[in-house]
Amino acid sequence: MISEFQELSDKIDRLAQLAQALRSENYLLRQANALLSAENVDFKHRLLQAQQRVEAMLAQLEPADDSLDDHEAAANPDDAEAAQ
């Protein structure tokens, strides 16, 4: 009977150690998750900034495209009339 109590005590000790190990692992995983979430927010912000810069550059290029069309039309008046 004493050996049964000893076995039960050993199992309880192992269970307590496992629970503590899982708590420690959970804590580390939560920290890693928080860091990755912050990094993800930073990457999204940087991506948005890059997108805005590209859109601004494209907006600057659009008037240049229109002026090229005007120059081409002036150089080839027959083509401009055919396009209309």
46-69 pLDDT, tens digit per residue, is: 999 999 999 999 999 987 666 656
Mean confidence (pLDDT) of the chain: 87
Predicted TM-score (pTM) of this structure: 0.57
Q: What is the mean pLDDT of residues 43-47?
A: 98
Which residues, other chains included, contact 80 with Cβ-Cβ below 8 Å and sequence gap of 6+?
Answer: 72, 73, 74
Q: What is the mean pLDDT of residues 30-58?
A: 97
pLDDT at 46: 98
More confident residue, 24 or 75: 24
pLDDT at 40: 98
Could you state, in order of their start, the residue ranges of all structural domains in the chain?
A: 2-83
